[in-house]
Every structure is written in C-alpha cells, then in structure tokens.
Amino acid sequence: MKLSRFLSGVTALALSAVAATVMSVSSAEPARADQTGLRAADPSVLRVGGTYVSVQSTGGGIAVRQASSTGGLASAPARQVWSDTRNLGEVWAPEIVVDGGRYYVYFSAGRGSAHRMYVISSGAPDSGYTAETKLALPDDKWAIDGSLFTFNGQRWFVWSGWAGDTNVEQNLYVARMSSPTTPTGGRSVISQPRESWERVVGNPFINEGPEPVKDPDGRLHIVYSANGSWSDQYCLADLRLRAGGDPAYVWDWYKSNGCLFGSNRATMMAGWDPTLHVNGPGHHSFVLLNGDIDTSPPAGPKFPSMFHAVPKGTPYTWENRYWYTGTFAWWGNTTYSRANVPGPNTNTGWSLKFFE
C-alpha cells in the first residue's frame, strides 16, 4: 500500500485543513478490527467532541450508548431512549445524526410489508427524545435503513426500499428534505442489485445499509451492503457521484466493480482482498465528527469505522453477528465501470479500503 496513491490529487494545504478537524478521531483507534462484546447488528456511531455515541434496537425500543472510544461502547450502559408503545412491530437499524445541534434517530418499524421509516429527536444524545413521527417518504413504500445527510447545502434522505408492494429486490433511493423530518419532491432510485457479484444470494436481491461519505475531492459516495444479510456473501460496495453530478439522477452514479469489503474473493473488486478474520462484513458506520460528511477524512490516514460481521469459524447466522471496530482509508485513481449506461461508462476517482 503506497501513500503516494492516497495523496494523488490532494494538496498539502487541503490535507492539513481537513485533518485538523478529524485527526483526533484516529489517534487512539486500533489498526485492525476488534470484535466488541456487543452481539448485535447494524451499528450507527458518531463522535461528539471526545465522546462516541451509538444507537441500536433493543427489544421493542432504541438504546443509546456513550463511551470514550468505539471499543468501549460495548461495555457502556445502554440507556433506552424510545419504546414502541404503539406496537408498531419490528424495530430495525436505527441511525443517529446531528442536524442544527439536535439529535435525530431514524429507524424502520413495522411487520412484513408494513415497514416504514420513523424519526425521533432530542437536544441531548441519550434523553428527552420526542415521540416517533412517520416520515412521509414519496410513494409510501416499504422502507428501511434510512439516514439524513447534507450535501452542497441541500438535505437528502437515503434509504433501502421496494419499487412496488412486493419483495422482489431492495433498491437504494434518495429524496430531498426541506427539514430533518420533511421530505420534499419525489424519490429517485440510485442503485439496484443488478450486477452479478451482488446477486450471488437473492430472494430478494439486496442493496441496503446506505452510508454517505465525502471523498478528498468533495465527491459524494454512498457505501452500501449487498447480497443477503443472512449469508456470508454479505459485503460492502460503493456508489460514487460524478463530479458536479446530481444525487437524484441515477446515471450520475458509478458503482464499484465488486465488493470493497467482503469475505469471498470471487466477489471482490480487482485489487481488493477478502477478510481474514470475519465473514460477511456489512451494515457499517463511518465514525465521523457529529456524523457530518463535511468532516469526512482526508487522504492518507486510516479513520475509524464500525460494522457487523460473524467471526470466522462460527456458523453464519443473524444471532452470531457482533459489532466490530475497524478502519478505512481513501484509495485514489480507481476506475469504476458500468455497462449499458448513456454517455461515458467509466469514471475514475477515489475509492475506499476497509481494514480489519
């Protein structure tokens, strides 16, 4: 791994300016993934000052943990901040973000085809949350794994959902937001599980767990999970928006040519290696300052991430998933290729390396 590849296209001045806001995140983080004691899925973690804040679904509710390191979250007290008093159903994959100094937790709740996105909010990370509000997402279809982010001054919401009312495949959608709780306009599909390497496991085929991050050139990425979460083919892949592209226009997005973080060599993108210690890594969290993609890391250093996976040598089941601490870094001059698209079908820019 050559540092010169990381630094391509980034001036020393830009590097130092961005690094000043985020370098402290990485200074105490491990160089390889560590299994935490938390037997759970779908980590969502951000940093507020020197404190790491996580959310998770817990038996009919949502709990918040706070610790001085990502590795310390598993042993930190879990404080329940919301309970399903209206019997909405299964509570999945809460995601915590900060907008305007206020904490918002987005989660999916429902039974079967009734799953929809909800939001609660508070002025503090671990108490005082409002009652849940259903997000009025365009078309009102099955929706999970949603998250809010701001890109170029515009709020967006990204989630995994169905095109119609049946469970054929899970696509990734975005919609503009006029506030943290109010979608505006229509939904736009930005990814469908149509590549051979993301169709190894189906029924349904899956794109889910989308997480936004911004690369050293200021381009938007959505890193997501592909293949069934019930199999060790589960992996992370990347969508990269072209320079100056519209996040709502599907043909402005370019997809990695395989998994960037996975445990099966056959589905990995060329030049990316499978995991050594875990199977089926997926549904990750970039651990950013205030969860803000404008604090995404510069090229060069490794920065913290969290993901769930099953330790190698253990049967791959949902019950055997643990939260893991890991790291990621930018990898420059990487070409993504797509067939059957209008205009140029290749795009070169930053990709990501994930580390155990």
Tokens 């690369």 found at: 215
Using one digit for the tens of pLDDT, what is the confidence trace for 14-27? 333 333 333 333 33
Using one digit for the tens of pLDDT, what is the confidence trace for 43-95? 999 999 999 999 999 988 999 999 999 999 999 999 999 999 999 999 999 99
- Taking all residues of the chain, what is their mean pLDDT, rounded to a whole number? 91
Question: pTM for this structure?
Answer: 0.91
**Biggest alpha carbon–alpha carbon distance for the chain:** 55
Q: Are residues 81 and 127 in contact, defined by beta-carbon separation less than 8 angstroms?
A: yes
Alpha carbon distances (Å) from 156 to 100, 118, 130, 205, 270: 15, 15, 22, 25, 31
Q: Are residues 139 and 122 in contact, defined by beta-carbon separation less than 8 angstroms?
A: no
Using one digit for the tens of pLDDT, what is the confidence trace for 254-288? 999 999 999 999 999 999 999 999 999 999 999 99
pLDDT band of residue 2 (cuts 50, 70, 90) is very low
Using one digit for the tens of pLDDT, what is the confidence trace for 102-159? 999 999 999 999 999 999 999 999 999 999 999 999 999 999 999 999 999 999 999 9
DSSP 300-319: SS-EEEEEEEEETTS---GG
Domain ranges of the chain: 3-355
- pLDDT for residue 59: 81
Assigned superfamily of 3-355: Glycosyl hydrolase domain; family 43 (2.115.10.20)
Residues 6+ apart with CB under 8 A from 229: 41, 206, 208, 280, 282, 283, 318
Q: What would the two tokens of residue 18 be?
A: 């961005």
Tokens 């140029």 found at: 344
Handedness of CA 239, 242, 247, 248 (dihedral sign): negative
